[in-house]
Amino acid sequence: MIDATDKNPASQEEFFESQPTGVEVEDESPPAVKDPEPWDPEQIRIHTKHYSLRQIVDMIADKDVDLAPDFQRQYVWKDWQRWGLIESLLLGIPLPSFYFNEDPDGRLQVVDGVQRLTTIYNFVKGDTDEGTHPDEDRSRAVNRSFRLGSLTYLHDLEGRAFGELDGAFRRRLLGSQFVAHVIDPQTPYRVKFDIFRRINTGGSPLSAQEIRHCMSGARSRMFLKQLGEDADFVAATGASLKHHPRMADREVALRSVAFRLFSVEDYAKSGTLDDFLGKATEHIDSVLTDDQLRDVHVVFSRGMRHAKIAFGDNAFRKWPRDAERRYPINRALVETWGTVLADFDESRVVERQEQLVQRARDLMTDDRTFIGSIAGSTGDTANVRERFAKVRIVATEVLT
């Protein structure tokens, strides 16, 4: 029997900015890929462009620049960071470069620099200091102006909003120049993703799902937001993922949907989990009809509801027979049980609930191979095959 204790790092809860996230730590290092597909230099086009802040503010207002609405970490800066950025611009200090992804319609999606541009836009437009975006419902924001607070040098400007600055300061701010590296739309999705992952080395690096969110279209962003707020999903996860600071709610929802849209063998051909989820995101954005998307949502909700019926407060959590605590959400269990249980009648799940729980806990107590498949290197193809096969066998034997 495996000793599942708090000392096992694979069972530890993730923390972000010293706060628990409700999700188990998962090894995000990509598995080795045999004969990886080389990059074709002819497909990789990165253009360097220069903009004034006046231009970029106008482009944001016109929605030609997309700050990724509903990006939950887009505005996590402290007050002193926001004030410091504006003061730096007023002092004439150049900004670091930005990275944009250009979509097929010519719109620019900000992947690196969201917080800086959000700060600037909110200050210039007089928006609240809560990080509102042109696409958001302003009635939900706190109605107070973004005013400068404690500054290091320009003390006379403390307490002022943009419209209260002298004309010279406003012109200096709006005339500030910055450099943006723009990735051409013809660059393959997986290459774009890898580029952004490579340059994503800031103080609080984006998670893989946050990068996908910045690169994806409005359709998939809205769909994953709906799944993350789905009542059955919230109930099955005990609301521990609701409005997750690292978008783990949308990641696990996308993982479950991806395995509904594509098979485990399709996953094996993808090479990595990131490639697989990127493929699913593109499929949602450009292939599925509205009716098909609604059907996917219905099936997703059914899988979540059945998991809650079967496992109660321990749904999608490790639950060995000797467990003395409630474990955090395990991503691998969400994608397997959430996908598989959607294929069975709810009446059978209710009727055979105790047997299903017993068999599932046996897997998580005695089956070393299965335990390994949900504990480490969860993106490895062999582990994906293992956990889906075992869960499918248990569900079929108990529920049919």
pLDDT tens digits for range 269-295: 987 899 999 999 999 999 999 999 999
Looking at the structure, tell me whether residues 66 and 163 fall in a common domain: yes
**Comparing C-alpha atoms, which of 274, 257, 267 is closest to residue 387?**
267
Per-residue pLDDT averaged across 249-255, rounded?
A: 93
Which residue range forms the structural domain that includes residue 219?
A: 9-20+204-399
Looking at the structure, tell me whether residues 49 and 83 fall in a common domain: yes
Looking at the structure, tell me whether residues 239 and 159 fall in a common domain: no
* 189 assigned to some structural domain: no
Looking at the structure, tell me whether residues 72 and 141 fall in a common domain: yes
Interhelix angle 248-261/273-286, rounded to 10 degrees, is 80
Looking at the structure, tell me whether residues 211 and 173 fall in a common domain: no
pLDDT digit string, tens, across residues 117-160 = 989 999 999 864 444 444 444 333 333 478 999 999 999 999 99
Looking at the structure, tell me whether residues 259 and 382 fall in a common domain: yes
- Which pLDDT score is estimated for 39? 59
* 309 assigned to some structural domain: yes
Looking at the structure, tell me whether residues 360 and 250 fall in a common domain: yes
pLDDT of 20 above 70? no
pLDDT digit string, tens, across residues 33-60 = 445 555 566 667 889 999 999 999 999 9
Question: How confident is the prediction for the chain on average, in pLDDT?
Answer: 85
* 25 assigned to some structural domain: no
> Which amino acid, residue 114?
V
- Which pLDDT score is estimated for 359? 97
The DSSP string of 108-141 is EEEEE-HHHHHHHHHHHHT--TT---TTS-GGGS
Looking at the structure, tell me whether residues 219 and 299 fall in a common domain: yes
* 39 assigned to some structural domain: no
In the chain, how many domains are there? 2
pLDDT digit string, tens, across residues 283-341 = 999 999 999 999 999 999 999 999 999 999 999 999 999 888 899 999 999 999 999 99
- Which pLDDT score is estimated for 140? 35
Looking at the structure, tell me whether residues 151 and 260 fall in a common domain: no
* 191 assigned to some structural domain: no
Looking at the structure, tell me whether residues 134 and 260 fall in a common domain: no
Residue 244 confidence class, pLDDT cut points 50, 70, 90: confident
pLDDT of 82 above 80? yes
Looking at the structure, tell me whether residues 139 and 263 fall in a common domain: no
**Comparing C-alpha atoms, which of 252, 346, 264 is closest to residue 305?**
346
Higher per-residue confidence, 399 vs 240: 399
* 31 assigned to some structural domain: no
Interhelix angle 53-61/114-125, rounded to 10 degrees, is 80
* 40 assigned to some structural domain: no
Looking at the structure, tell me whether residues 67 and 155 fall in a common domain: yes
